[in-house]
Amino acid sequence: MRRMLVAAVAACALLAAAPSAHAATFEFGMEDEGLVLSNQLLALKAVDDWHALGVDVVRIHARWWEIAPQGTKKPAGFNANNPNDPQYRFANLDNAVAIVRNAGINVMLTITGPGPVWTSTEPSKNEGRWKPSPTEYASFARAVATRYKAQVSRYLLWNEPNQKGWLQPQWQKSGKTWTPVSPHIYRGLVNAAVPAVKAADPGSETVIGELAPVGNRAISALTPMEPLPFLRSLGCVDDKYKNVKTGLCKGFKAPTATSLGYHPHPQQRAPDAINKDLDQAQFGDLPRLFTAIDKLRAHKRLKVGKNIHLTEFGYETSPPDAASGISLALQSRYVQQAAYIAWASKRVIGLSQYQWDDEPVENQGSGTKRYANWQTGLRFNDSKPKPVLSVMPSPFIIDQAPGAKTGLLWGMVRPDFQGQVVIELRAKGSSEFKELARISPASDGVWSKKVTLTAGAAYRYRWTPKPTIFQPTPVERTSGIVDLNKKEKSRYKAGLAPTP
């Protein structure tokens, strides 16, 4: 069994090793960069809340452009391999790592550009995202892994290299044809950085990819690339996975890492909805992504493990964003369904929720509001919980194939638990729940049970957290209710969030 992810944040002194979060094979993770790096006073409280939710790991960015010295030329005497070089500015990241670790939660670091302008191989463009130097990136990655090897065991190399906001150019024009560039730049970056990280922290995991799930057909050098063409170009194969040995693929060396990371943001799609664009891969397209990875692995064009990390995921909601968001009820349902689908894939190591709180609204004057940022939080921007937060400690799914009389009951109890999960059934027309079965969850809190379903019945489960110093006598918790009377188009029927 495995466990799922949701990211967290923090701030304190770094050096003492905090207690390790409980081991898990399906991780529950969180990421909120604005909180963990930019608002560390609020982060101190937030990470305690995340620990209470059972968060296993928090994703934090090691931002090259903030940590390294600025300018168009590399400073004289600067040793980029040495994290103790006085021109490096690691204090803010030190605090963030310490806050998370001191809450008993593990950290994974995204070592990402863009770097300062001097790290570009063409600094005259005055753009750190433009063709960054693999050598300089490897030095920064070495410095990060050297500094944090006692606190961190997983390093993610770059963030969304198929997006112009992180890496440029994405394309170059040959005659009338646009050809990919960013995958080849990225291959150079990871081929330089992975050995540097492993030399500094030999027992660590390295995660590459970290792709956004969508893109566009090229109309300029900055058009974001779709993820599957990016992967094929990264591995120097054509659309039929035949090796390419010319052009930017001359002298090809396969990227090598522990595993692949990915950001399967579904936007407004259900987690089992399929995108018709075969070059994109959102949450419902994970089988398509797995197929591409497996073909590249089989051809030895990508040397990574079979399992992947889903390190950024979330649904924007309405309220507050009526233009881009789904309803609060749908967010509650979809997050539970996504957790189950990820677990059932048997290939996903963890799933990380993107954002604890919604990002602030931009006022455009005359009372107009612009939701330019992310509204994927488990809470609103004023810290008021969304309904989804009530189902995070105990997601509940009934997986019932169309026309089947049986179904798989699945849930996950977080954080640590004691005793057994008690599954209950309320018959149609009854007002009382009665015990159906008891089951012992796996060490990561996941449980499942196949049953013959009763038509029109409702199901839920009860469980008890382990005592803590904050709650020596924990209160028994109850999951959301799956009511088979309610129509649900998906085969994955999710527990309804309790009414506030």
Residue in this structure with the two tokens 């936007």, named with its chain if needed: 267
Please name the fold of domain 6-390.
TIM Barrel (3.20.20)
Instruction: Give the residues across from 448 on adjacent strands.
Output: 410
Find out whether the peptide bond into 415 is cis, omega within 30 degrees of 0: yes
Residue in this structure with the two tokens 């050809």, named with its chain if needed: 179
Residue in this structure with the two tokens 């310490």, named with its chain if needed: 98
Measured distance between the N- and C-terminal CA atoms of the chain, rounded to whole angstroms: 32
Tokens encoding 398? 């009934």
Give CA–CA dist 379/267, Å, rounded: 18
| Domain coordinates in residue numbering, the chain | 6-390, 396-494
pTM: 0.92
Number of CB atoms found within 10 A of residue 138's CB: 23
Give CA–CA dist 185/484, Å, rounded: 51
Give CA–CA dist 326/499, Å, rounded: 18
Please tell me the predicted confidence (pLDDT) of residue 467. 86
pLDDT < 70 regions, the chain:
1-24, 363-372, 470, 499-500
DSSP 277-333: -TT---GGGHHHHHHHHHHHHHTTSSB--S-EEEEEE---BTTT-TTTPBPHHHHHH
Please tell me the predicted confidence (pLDDT) of residue 470. 67
- Residue 66 has φ and ψ, to the nearest 5°, of -95, -30
Find, among 4, 102, 93, 110, the residue nearest to 47 by Cα: 102
Per DSSP, 48 falls in state H
Name the architecture of domain 396-494: Sandwich (2.60)
Residue 227, SS3 per DSSP = helix
> Pairing state of beta strands 417-426 and 434-439?
antiparallel
